[in-house]
A = this chain, B = another copy of it.
Amino acid sequence: MKVIETNIDDMSGEFLGFLMELLLQHNALDVWYTPIYMKKNRPGVKVSVLCHPQDQEKLEDILLRETTTLGVRSYSAFRKTLQRQWIKVSTRYGYIRIKVAYGDGVFKAAPEYEDCRLASRTYGVSLREIYDEAMQEFSKLDIKLKVLESNV
């Protein structure tokens, strides 16, 4: 995994909002901004991009082309991840995907945000209720046991 970073103090928030969208569309695994204090009393932003090594050059080029920066720095990071799987549950507000993550005795599940957001908009029900109903349906499936067993 690579982490690419650059500090920006001469570019407005408007452009940075646009940049995040662009980086994510070009295979960045994650993009995040950190508010930082830079010299001459300048509120700045540190742009961080996490990516696969094969995407590093392309993403660095976007940073050099679309921002005001004169240089980017990068370093390698080792990444440990859980396995993931998607399970669809049926709710009063339509199908919602549940993101299941597991490995090393860990098991976690959470409803997919975009599905919940859409259902919340369509049915005029609060996001919280959609989440809760989706998780309740999911708990009926008893997936946890099966996943952990099949990983023994």
Contact = CB atoms under 8 A, between A and B. Distances in A.
A137 interface: no
Given A73-B78, A126-B65, A13 B42 contact: yes
Kindly report how many copies of this chain are found in the complex they form together.
6
A147 interface: no
A32 B41 contact: no
B73 A110 contact: no
Of listed A15, A60, A68, residue having the most chain B CB within 10 A: A15
A38 to B, nearest CB: 5
B68 A110 contact: yes
Contact of A113 (B14, B65, B70, B71): B14
Interface of A: 1, 3, 5, 7-18, 20-21, 24, 30-46, 48, 50, 60-61, 64-66, 68, 70-82, 84, 99, 101, 103-106, 108, 110, 113, 117, 120, 126-128
